[in-house]
A = this chain, B = another copy of it.
Amino acid sequence: MKLHEYISKQIFARYGVPVPQGKVAATPKEAGKIAKKLGGRVVIKSQVLVGGRGKAGGVKLAKNAKEAETLAKSILGMEIKGLPVRKVLVDPAIDIASEIYLGITNDRAARQPVIIASAAGGIDIEEVARTTPEKIIRAHVNPLLGLQDYNIRDLSIGIELERKHWPAFHEICKGLWEAYRDNDATLAEINPLVISGAGELIALDGKMIIDDNALYRHEQLAELRDLDAEAPTETEARKYGLTYIKLDGEIGCMVNGAGLAMATMDIIKLFGGQPANFLDIGGGADAEKVAAALRIILQDKNVKAVLFNIFGGITRGDEVARGILEAMNQVKPKVPMVIRLVGTNAEEGRALLAEAKMITAETLAEAAKKAVAAAKS
Contact = CB atoms under 8 A, between A and B. Distances in A.
Interface of A: 144-145
A145 B144 CA distance: 7
Contacts of A145: 144
Contacts of A144: 144-145
How many copies altogether? 2
A113 to B, nearest CB: 15
A54 B145 CA distance: 44
2 contacts: A144-B144, A144-B145
A144 B145 CA distance: 7
A144 B142 CA distance: 11
Nearest to A142: B144
Nearest to A143: B144
A155 B144 CA distance: 24
Nearest to A145: B144
A333 to B, nearest CB: 47
Nearest to A146: B144
A145 B145 CA distance: 9
A145 B146 CA distance: 11
A114 to B, nearest CB: 19
A228 B318 CA distance: 77
A177 B144 CA distance: 18
A181 to B, nearest CB: 13
2 closest A-B pairs by beta carbon, nearest first, are: A144-B144, A144-B145
A145 to B, nearest CB: 7
A266 B309 CA distance: 84
A143 to B, nearest CB: 9
